[in-house]
Amino acid sequence: MRQSIYLAVFLLTACSAPKIQEEVETSKFETIGSVERLDSAINSLIAADAKIEVLASGFEWAEGPLWLEEQQALIFTDVPTNKVWKWTEEDSLSLYLSPSGYLGDRTDKREPGANGLTLDAAGNLILCQHGERQIGKMLASLDSPKSEFETLVGEYEGKRFNSPNDLVFNSKGQLFFTDPPYGMDPWDEKQLDFQGVYRLEKDGKVNLLVDSLSRPNGIALNPDEKVLYVAQSDPEKARYYAFDLDENGNVISGKVLFDATSIQGPNRKGLPDGLKVHSNGTLFATGPGGVLVISPEGKHLGTVLTENGTANCGFDSDEKYLYMTADGYLMRIGLK
């Protein structure tokens, strides 16, 4: 992990009035990348002088950033190494959970670890567990994590999931999640002949919402929970979809919100992956180049260019920062 120092300069004003001590703070982290601004609306979200800070590095494929408010900490997964890491401003990086997504003995699995993370209404950690091909609940508190899990859901109509990837709760406690095959190994039996988007009810019932997407990945809800966003990590159809929901969480219509297929290129690594929705409705969606900033109407406002394939992103509780997992890095950028 790149190390840096915290700089503080104390300025004393020499005048007849009482001297006032003022602390001037500069970033203690190395910076990287830039912000592409395609529409002035992005300026209300990201300041002109905002920098992308590298908080930690050395991971194989970082994913699933989740802010823990009580701990003032960010946790995130490293999928190939089967670990969850914890980062705080004061204590930097520490191992949070290992193993995270696969509890067996094989050592040759490609992506065994947890991927997307979230919290339920009771504050329990909920994980998309690639290796176990399920969504699990950690049976320990957030401040004393242990690799002990309860299966929330692991199959649909008696068939095992592929590898649940990302997830989001609504205010009713319904859990929406995606199930692409990225966490499967060549020897795994694929029991479903599609890649689904599902809704898990509080009573354990599983509902298939969408079965037509080739690679459903990141998933999020808009602020009023009437629109479900799904990213598709398909280089031939690199898209973000918007599905209108009824009051019960059923899909009633859908459309392509933004097609990023044409902006892929050697200088814009990555595909549509994880995404989050700002409280004002703007999407922050990982994809070609970094994190695309997209209006609810589907207008591309700009991109946080991370110089790396970017897997996922997430806000802290007051949306002061956008945290990003980009290949082997954990990054952040300040928001207005």
Residue-by-residue DSSP string for 213-275:
-SSEEEEEE-TTS-EEEEEE--TTS-EEEEEEE-TTS-EEEEEEEEE-GGG-BTTB---S--E
Report whether pLDDT(15) > 50: no
Instruction: Answer for the pair 200, 152: CB distance below 8 angstroms, yes or no.
Output: yes
Compute the distance between CA of residue 287 and CA of residue 297 in angstroms, rounded to an integer. Answer: 18
| Cβ neighbours around 217 below 10 Å, total | 27
Token output for 274: 């994880």
Domains and CATH numbers, the chain: 8-334 (2.120.10.30)
Q: Is 25 annotated as a binding residue?
A: no
Compute the distance between CA of residue 229 and CA of residue 255 in angstroms, rounded to an integer. Answer: 10
Q: Which residues contact 49 (CB under 8 A, 6 or more apart)?
A: none
Report whether pLDDT(125) > 80: yes
Question: Helix or strand or coil: residue 80?
Answer: helix
In the chain, the percentage of residues whose pLDDT exceeds 90 is 91
The catalytically annotated residue of 273, 316, 318, 327 is 273
Report whether pLDDT(28) > 90: no
Q: Is 43 annotated as a binding residue?
A: no
pLDDT of residue 26: 57
| Catalytic-residue membership of 246 | no
Instruction: Answer for the pair 57, 328: CB distance below 8 angstroms, yes or no.
Output: yes
Report whether pLDDT(169) > 90: yes
Report whether pLDDT(213) > 70: yes
Q: Is 49 annotated as a binding residue?
A: no
pLDDT of residue 139: 98
φ, ψ for residue 261, nearest 5 deg: -55, -45
Q: Is 108 annotated as a binding residue?
A: no
Segment 315-327 mean pLDDT: 98
Q: How far is CA 29 from the centre of its chain?
A: 21
Report whether pLDDT(14) > 90: no
**Which residue, among 97, 159, 87, 161, has the nearest Cα to 126 in the 3D structure?**
97
Bridging pattern class, strands 206-210 and 216-221: unpaired
The chain-wide mean pLDDT, for the chain, equals 93
| Cβ neighbours around 18 below 10 Å, total | 6
pTM equals 0.91
Report whether pLDDT(61) > 80: yes
DSSP state letters, 105-142: S-S--SS-SEEEEEE-TT--EEEEETTTTEEEEESS-T
Instruction: Answer for the pair 169, 209: CB distance below 8 angstroms, yes or no.
Output: no
Least confident of 17-21, 77-81, 151-155, 273-277: 17-21
Segment 19-48 mean pLDDT: 81
Report whether pLDDT(4) > 90: no
